[in-house]
Amino acid sequence: MNEKSANAKVGPVLLFDGECGLCNRVVRLLLRLDRSGGLRFAPLQGPAAQEFLRTHGLPTADFDSLVFVPDWARRSTPEFKLRTDGAMAALRVCGGAGRALAGVLGIFPAAWRDAGYRLVARWRYEIIGAWRACPLPRPEWVARFLE
């Protein structure tokens, strides 16, 4: 097993829509906020995420929700968070400003947060568009993606 795959199998992983421009910008923000490098990422369209979705009975073709998996090494257990709960969990892993932002979001009831999330998810391609692949600005970030 190479170093990238060994590192990617431990710790929290955020599954996101790899074709969404807004989602990829959020991932890049999380990469900047997570100075310890503990959070990993995988596109929902990829094989690792698809296997996780199938295992837990989640939709495999609907990419309107991000999925936070607290410990990828224990991904067979049904522990995951969706939508804003997942985003807040990812922000907490980042620490610092991420933890503060999660605290601010936590002030609002989950139903309100998720209603806003669904509204943005519905219009995100019209607002931001699809993601045009481009190299990551920092080479060390590559190891933080499962695929």
3-state secondary structure of 145: strand
Distance CA(73)–CA(34), nearest Å, equals 20
Of 75, 83, 142, 74, nearest to 113 by C-alpha is 83
pTM above 0.85, yes or no: no
The residue range of the domain holding 82 is: 3-144
The number of distinct structural domains making up the chain is 1
Angle at 47 between CA 120 and CA 23, to 5 degrees: 20
In this predicted structure, what is the pLDDT of residue 33?
Answer: 94
- The mean pLDDT value of the chain amounts to 84
pLDDT, tens only, 31-80: 999 999 999 999 999 999 999 999 999 989 877 778 999 999 999 999 99
